[in-house]
Structure formats: C-alpha cells, structure tokens
Amino acid sequence: MNFFQAIILGLVQALTEYLPVSSSAHIRIIGDLMLGADPGAAFTAIIQIGTELAVILYFRRDIINILSHWFACLFGRNGKDWKSRMGRGDKWATLGWNVIVGSIPIVILGFTLQNIIETTLRNLWITVTVLFLFGVLLWIVDARARQIKTMDDMTNRDAFLFGLGQSLALIPGVSRSGGTITVGRALGYTREAAVRLSFLMAIPAVVGSGLLEAIKAVKDYKTDAMFPGWGPTIVAAIVSFFVGYIVIIGFLKFVSTFSYKAFAIYRIGLAVVVAILLLTGALVPFEAISAAA
C-alpha cells in the first residue's frame, strides 16, 4: 500500500464509518480492488481510531458531562445509597451506565469470536449477504417505527439491545451504526437520538479494539502478511479523523430532516454490484485470497 492508496482508504473510512452502510465492508471491497488483497482486520481497526477521535472531539461536552456525573454519583456525591451511586436522578450518570451496558455484548463477542472475525467473516460473499439483508431491514424498520423516544428515555434493557445491534458489526457489511440505528428505530427512538446514541456507544468498543489491534500489530508486523505497514496506516487514520469530523456534522443535519431510505437503497445496490464483481472474477472471496497467499 502506498500513501495515495492510504489516503483513499482514509477517505472511504471517514465517509462511511458513521453512515449505516458499513465502513469495514467498503474498506474490504475498495482495498481489494486497489491492492488486489484485503487490507486486513488490523488496518481496519486502527484507522477506525481516527474516526472515533473525531466523534470524541465533536461530542466532547457530552462525554465530559457523562464522565464527571458518572464519577460524582459513583463516589456518593448524589447520595450514599447504591441507587444514587448508580446514577438515580442524574441523566448523565445514567447515560454513562447505559453506554457501559451497551458495550458488554461487543466486548464478549469480540474476544470470543476474534479468530472467526479476522478470517471466515471477511469472506466477501458474507459481506454481500449482510449488506443486502440489513439494507432491507433498515428500510422496513425505519419506515414503520414510531419516533417517540429520546436519549433520556433509554433504559438498561434498551442499552443492551443497542449493544447487541452494535455487536453485529463484527461481521463486515452489517455496519456498526446500521446495527445500532436499526435497533434504536425498532425501539421507537427518533432518528437523531438513535444516531447520537450510536456515536456514543461506539467510542469504548472502537477505541478499545483499535488499541488492541495496534498493540498486536506492533508485536506481529514482521509476520502479518496482511498488515500494510505503519506509515500508510497512520496516514489513513489521520485522513479519517479530519474528514470524519465534517461528515458527522453533515450526517446529523441529514437525519434530522430525512429518513434512512437512501442508505438502505445504497446498501442493496452495493450488494448487487459486489455480487456481480464476484461472479465475474473481478473480486475474489477471502478464501481464494488466503489460498493464494
């Protein structure tokens, strides 16, 4: 991977990370078209740190409120009983606990299914299938669901269900935001609330997985044939940060006015295009790449 290709993949990451279209699928597909090979799970996870840093910068006031109120309640400033320590009556502390609850599924599944995630699940036929299915699901759910809940209405149960939706993003093609937004809309959250909760819940999971992959890449970079090197990876992450911040602003404005129908149609169309490229041999599934490596 050269630096021009790294910049392109950084742009792809920034333009698709927050939209319900799956950034990992786009990195997988476009990386294969440009490089003739999968850029790899480590590269994908590390450059996602760039887009998550953009989220942290944009939502910095919310994050500061969550952390300050969460710690204040935990150490008894809101009351000494356990319910007060767990954030009763404090919406920011409660939101902090809900982010923790929502992070549990992806942490457990990420660790237990790590080998499958980095190998079998990167098969492009799986990507095509979930791109199509979750595009249809997002379209149906968004069209039929009510918009009655805000961020303040989130319960631990809803948080866990959001987390299950987020954990589906371990399969390239599902989309982290797509999974959480679909669950949020199914539960009756407004489009903007679903997006904001998706952003906040992604921070622990994405930053954590990115740091773990970075540590792993440092240890294994000499033997990992799929890792493209630190120079291109860092460049891609920097590009994804700056462009990602602009995309966040535009996406939040978009969902406050329009539905997710356009994203659902895009997912379905992309699935059809990739299927054609696979059938014609322009793209090859992961197994064929692995066998040739």
Q: What is the pLDDT of residues 125-141, one digit of tens each?
A: 888 898 899 889 999 99
How big is the CA angle at 55 (ends 13 and 247), to the nearest 5 degrees? Answer: 50
pLDDT exceeds 80 at position 210: no
Which range has the top average pLDDT, 19-28, 31-40, 150-159, 254-263? 150-159
**Which carries the bigger pLDDT value, residue 25 or residue 127?**
127
What are the pLDDT digits (tens) for 63-95? 999 999 999 888 877 777 777 777 777 889 999
The dihedral of CA 54, 56, 61, 62: what is its sign? positive
Kindly report, residue by residue over 235-265, the tens digit of the pLDDT.
999 999 999 999 898 888 887 777 788 888 9
Best CA proximity match to 277, nearest among 124, 165, 162? 124
Distance, CA of 172 to chain centre: 10
Q: Compute the mean pLDDT over every residue in the chain, rounded to the nearest whole number.
A: 83
What pLDDT is stored for residue 57 in this prediction? 92
Question: pLDDT-based confidence at 292, cuts 50/70/90?
Answer: very low
Question: Domain spans of the chain?
Answer: 3-280
Instruction: Determine the pLDDT at residue 73.
Output: 86
Count Cβ atoms below 10 Å from residue 143 Cβ, excluding itself.
Answer: 12
Q: What is the pLDDT of residue 293?
A: 32
In terms of average pLDDT, the best of 190-194, 218-222, 281-285 is 190-194
Q: Which sign, positive or negative, has the C-alpha torsion 153, 54, 262, 110? A: negative
